[in-house]
Structure 1
Amino acid sequence: MKIGLVSDSLSHLSLNDMLQAAQEMGIDGVEINTGNWSSAPHIDLAALLASSGERRAFLDASEKRGLSLIALNANGNPLHPTDGERLSAVVRDTIRLAAELGLDKVCLMSGLPGGAPGDRMPNWIVSSWPPETQQILTWQWNEVLLPYWTSLVRFASDHGITRLCLELHGNQIVYNVPSLLKLRAAVGPVVGANLDPSHLMRMGADPIAAVDALGEAIYHVHVKDTSINPTRCATTGLLENGPLEDIAARAWSYITLGYGRPEAWWKDFC
């Protein structure tokens, strides 16, 4: 198992300082955020795509510190009804760059479309009633998600990328084990999971059971913890839309590893 660092976790540092910090922490490699929901402080997609010299210098910066380049990450919502085209362009450029850098995997999110043609905001359906919820899901999957991912898988394969790692994340149409396996069954094994247990915890799922269920469909792992606030959760459940920084008032919060689940749990997970 390799221990990596997501570059945005040190977004306040320059590329060289971020890599130096990773080396000093004994990290094996780095995952570089390329854009979309990231400001991409450590990479210039256009410059690296345009210049083999820039790509060589970028790789050298990691290699001279004994760090591997684990993956590129273009997390965002490429299915956004008004901004999806721009976000999707970053996804495709990231796939192109991954191929040029000799990588075989890219971390992404599935995206979340609107609920019907003409919608301007994404629509996340997590209930079964009233009946229009099922009509929305059918439209989202059949008219938006499957055509997009069928095309993207073909594009990735044409560029030698064998693993598109989808983070199972809230407010995405692929957010849990069943939805990931459903998409994978439809478009093929290029699609797999980027398993982050914190998101499953906050939805009430068991990440260790998810590991067993996903098996070889796990292509990448992000490690974050989630703290459940039992007093708040007792009256609100796990559905939470309060500000992330208002930890005391929330049913759950993302938290430093080990402050949510005990060490013994993490040993089982890893």
Structure 2
Amino acid sequence: MNRQIGMRIPPKLGAEGIESLAKWASSIGIDVIDVPYFNEEVKTALEANGLEVGSIDGLGAVGQTKLLSTDDKVRLQAVESINAQFSEIATLGGRVIFMCLVPEDIMTDRKEAFSIWKETFPSIVKQAEKENLYIALEGWPGPAPYYPTLGTTPEMLRAMFNEIPSKHFGLNYDPSHLVRLGIDHLRVLTEFGDRVNYCHGKDTEILHDDLYEHGILAATFGAKYDFSEGSWRYTIPGQGEVDWGKVAVRLDKIGYQGPVSIELEDHRYWGSLEAERQGIIKAKEHLSIYFK
């Protein structure tokens, strides 16, 4: 299987600037870069180093998005802004929009947020269809204790895809979130494979001693590690519960043609430029076993 391997931009590498980042990424064999925004400068820097753009963060759609505001005027402005952004991205040749649908008020009940989403999203997806863009929902459940993000569980994904059957509205397959939630990450590919618009290379280790201490609840006195809530921690591929060989087989079976993009969230490879570089390199080495 010959599939591209990409990466999201961690903070220290990002601080080096897009040209420096692109040059380094190309030197280690990265094919694709996910970006927080896409403009001529970014496009030129990527192309000059033989790289392609991967997913592009949707305006206001990472973190607490105004797309799910309870205020009608605020929500309308957010829809108009993201539709305009879609047109700009399409003109530059972008194709995948990364979205994390956390309500503006994180205390908003998911059922209420879903009702807002049903009013908001049809016009957004129509714009995506018009511009030939593909929305990929991020599966991060959101901050504890509310976990308000839409599109993180099979129950919610099924309801959303029933409402909007367009394949221009799909998911970013990230098994790390599914593992921490106790969801069968391979079964998700079986049920929702035709809606996978992007894929992240990130893993999760289950910390069984900590699971005994406080179960699936967030640790009362603080987690031992960064990128953790107590009984689990995010890690680079190959250091957690995900069987990437089986993931590769299933991605191939469903006909997924996109990259597998490293999202570096592992406390061992964080905090310095050299640590981030090592994390990306080690993640790529493991993914390359199955995707190159």
Q: TM-score, normalised by structure 1?
A: 0.74
Correspondence for 1:258 among 238, 241, 266? 238
Deviation at 1:166, TM superposition (A): 0.5
Residue correspondence of structure 1 range 147-186 to structure 2 within 5 A? 147-161=119-133, 163-171=134-142, 172-186=149-163
- 1:77 partner letter: Q
Inter-partner Cα distance in structure 2 for 1:241 and 1:181: 31
**What secondary structure, in the 3-state scheme, does the structure 2 residue paired with 1:210 have?**
helix
Which residue number corresponds to residue 67 of structure 1?
A: 51
98-107 vs 1-10, greater mean Cα deviation:
1-10
Aligned residues: CA RMSD: 2.7
Closer/same/farther in 2, CA of residues 246 and 87 from structure 1, 3 Å limit: farther
Inter-partner Cα distance in structure 2 for 1:188 and 1:141: 16
Inter-partner Cα distance in structure 2 for 1:239 and 1:145: 28
Inter-partner Cα distance in structure 2 for 1:241 and 1:166: 27
Closer/same/farther in 2, CA of residues 167 and 241 from structure 1, 3 Å limit: farther
User: What runs of 5+ residues in structure 2 fail to find an aligned partner?
Assistant: 143-148, 249-292
Which residue number corresponds to residue 107 of structure 2?
A: 123
Q: TM-score, normalised by structure 2?
A: 0.69
Correspondence for 1:197 among 175, 192, 202? 175
Which residue number corresponds to residue 100 of structure 2?
A: 109
Inter-partner Cα distance in structure 2 for 1:199 and 1:90: 29
Closer/same/farther in 2, CA of residues 269 and 112 from structure 1, 3 Å limit: same
Closer/same/farther in 2, CA of residues 199 and 90 from structure 1, 3 Å limit: farther
- 2:130 partner letter: D
**What secondary structure, in the 3-state scheme, does the structure 2 residue paired with 1:7 have?**
coil
Deviation at 1:58, TM superposition (A): 3.3
Which residue number corresponds to residue 198 of structure 2?
A: 220
Deviation at 1:80, TM superposition (A): 4.6
Note if contact 2:33-2:54 (Cα within 8 Å) is conserved in structure 1: yes
Inter-partner Cα distance in structure 1 for 2:89 and 2:155: 28
Which residue number corresponds to residue 33 of structure 2?
A: 30
Deviation per CA, 1:184-223, whole angstroms, max 9, x where unpaired?
2212322111011111011011211111111111110011
Which residue number corresponds to residue 15 of structure 1?
A: 18
Which residue number corresponds to residue 129 of structure 1?
A: none
Closer/same/farther in 2, CA of residues 94 and 100 from structure 1, 3 Å limit: same
Deviation at 1:226, TM superposition (A): 1.1
Residue correspondence of structure 1 range 209-248 to structure 2 within 5 A? 209-240=187-218, 246=225
234-243 vs 20-29, greater mean Cα deviation:
234-243
Q: Which ranges of 4 or more aligned residues in structure 1 deviate by more than 3 Å?
A: 80-94, 241-249
Which residue number corresponds to residue 146 of structure 2?
A: none
**How much identity, in percent, do the aligned residues show?**
20
Note if contact 1:29-1:70 (Cα within 8 Å) is conserved in structure 2: yes
Closer/same/farther in 2, CA of residues 64 and 140 from structure 1, 3 Å limit: closer
216-225 vs 229-238, greater mean Cα deviation:
229-238
Closer/same/farther in 2, CA of residues 155 and 73 from structure 1, 3 Å limit: same
